[in-house]
């Protein structure tokens, strides 16, 4: 049995996990694919560095072209990260007829269409299950499991760092700043947490999921993004009193072929399954016209969960290789992209206002809603804990985004409103 040889780009956390699985589960892998799978070369930054997992020094290289130009290597597994240089390496590997497995969400969100087109041209496979949701098999599910259905909504917690922060704020009453510092000390958040806490990481993942779910080329620029850095203890507390948890949700919706995608802190009913997803766990809720509601849950990061998805993709590539069908399952978006306007994007809203505590204030506020045809589900007024004024919490019925923008603009010029403290979408 001729072995299938793999070039591994990157031997960090995930790369080490890939080697552990391939070498540790070799018998199982051979039974599945009919031949050995060998890690032939490994790209590292420093060949002399001490490593957590022993590997023959002759397999290590600090030159990516040693892998790309090696005619013996059948599959390139990329887990080193980066965008432009990594894109060059992957396109070069495809040009030479090598199949590619990647865990790189940034690369696939920004350049996935170009990479998949090159793969189709060269009859090569490109698999990227680990780019979204770590060990959750959501990408393969969207492509294959929902191939006979029409997806209308994808809603997910797809960033573990922000979910950890919001969970700690909810369960312990801590402030955002306190929990972020703790998350950095534990290694859950980077020294510069911007990509996570401002929603950029989640936005890249939602662009990928939206492309797969709706069969149209959704780009990062199509995702409306708002992060969690302004979520306060008061927001968490008031939400809980009303029966909600706050989660950073990626929300992709399609109605009559019109699409919207966003990432934003969202008030979600405690009875919804996503409200109970805590800590660093991820979950993706998918609604199909035929199947109805489904949800996929698991660890969204980490050495072995992510490596499991990478190796599962590797197995799929090798199976295709044995069957001679590589490149025939490359997913290329084929539907025209039609984005919803703000007038077509509708949801409920939670609004927290700091207002003057005097007669007639509520009447002025409700008049503004009436002028813009936004109806209200509930209104709660209570004293402010730190000022001799009041706070009003409002939950609207479904309202389009354009109308809500006009309401908020009107509030800015209303003298009885001192501050628009929070505005969140409401789900569930």
C-beta separation of 249 from 268 below 8 A: yes
Residues in the chain: 428
- DSSP-derived 3-state class of residue 9: strand
- C-alpha closest to that of 427 among 168, 248, 223, 234: 248
Q: Is 246 left (phi over 0), alpha (psi -120 to 50) or beta?
A: beta
Which residue in 205, 226, 340, 401 is the catalytic one?
A: 205
DSSP tally for the chain: helices H, then strands E: 14, 17
C-beta separation of 329 from 320 below 8 A: yes
Round to whole Å and give the CA distance between 199 and 281. Answer: 16
DSSP string covering 299-338: E-SSHHHHHHHHHHHHHHHHHHHHHT-TTTT-----BPP-
Is-catalytic flag, 205? yes
- C-alpha closest to that of 251 among 297, 195, 200, 207: 207
C-beta separation of 259 from 214 below 8 A: yes
- C-alpha closest to that of 207 among 105, 138, 309: 105
Active site residues: 205
């Amino acid at each position: 049995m001729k072995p299938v040889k793999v070039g591994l780009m990157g031997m960090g956390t995930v790369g080490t996990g890939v080697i552990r699985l391939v070498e540790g589960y070799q018998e199982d892998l051979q039974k599945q694919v009919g031949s050995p799978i060998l890690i032939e070369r490994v790209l590292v930054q420093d060949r002399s560095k001490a490593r957590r997992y022993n590997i023959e020094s002759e397999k290590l290289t600090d030159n990516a072209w040693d892998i790309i130009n090696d005619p013996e290597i059948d599959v390139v597994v990329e887990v080193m990260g980066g965008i432009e240089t990594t894109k060059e390496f992957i396109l070069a590997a495809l040009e030479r007829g090598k199949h590619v497995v990647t865990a790189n969400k940034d690369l696939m969100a920004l350049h996935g269409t170009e990479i998949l087109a090159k793969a189709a041209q060269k009859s090569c496979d490109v698999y990227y299950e680990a780019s979204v949701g770590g060990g959750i098999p959501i990408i393969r599910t969207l492509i294959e499991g929902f191939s006979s259905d029409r997806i209308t909504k994808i809603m997910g917690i797809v960033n573990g760092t922000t979910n950890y922060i919001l969970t700690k704020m909810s369960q312990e009453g801590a402030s955002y700043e306190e929990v972020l510092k703790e998350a950095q000390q534990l290694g859950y958040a980077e020294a510069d947490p911007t990509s996570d806490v401002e929603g950029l990481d989640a936005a890249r993942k939602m662009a990928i999921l939206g492309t797969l779910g709706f069969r149209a080329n959704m780009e990062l620029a199509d995702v409306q993004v708002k992060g969690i850095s302004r979520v306060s203890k008061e927001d968490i507390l008031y939400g809980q009193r009303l029966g909600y948890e706050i989660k950073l949700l990626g929300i992709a919706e399609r109605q009559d072929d019109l699409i919207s995608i966003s990432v934003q802190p969202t008030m979600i009913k405690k009875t919804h399954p996503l409200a109970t997803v805590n800590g660093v766990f991820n979950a993706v809720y998918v609604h199909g016209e035929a199947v109805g509601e489904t949800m996929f849950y698991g660890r969204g990061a980490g050495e072995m969960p992510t490596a499991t998805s990478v190796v599962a993709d590797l197995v799929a590539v090798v199976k295709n290789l044995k069957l001679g069908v590589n490149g025939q399952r490359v997913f290329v978006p084929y539907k025209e992209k039609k984005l919803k306007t703000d007038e077509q994007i509708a949801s409920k809203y939670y609004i927290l206002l700091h207002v003057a505590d005097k007669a007639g204030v509520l009447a002025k506020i409700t008049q503004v809603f009436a002028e813009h045809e936004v109806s209200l589900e509930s209104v709660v007024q209570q004293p402010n804990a730190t000022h001799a004024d009041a706070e009003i919490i409002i939950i609207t019925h479904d309202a389009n985004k354009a109308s809500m923008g006009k309401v908020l603009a009107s509030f800015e010029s209303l003298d009885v409103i001192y501050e628009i403290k929070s505005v969140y979408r409401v789900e569930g």
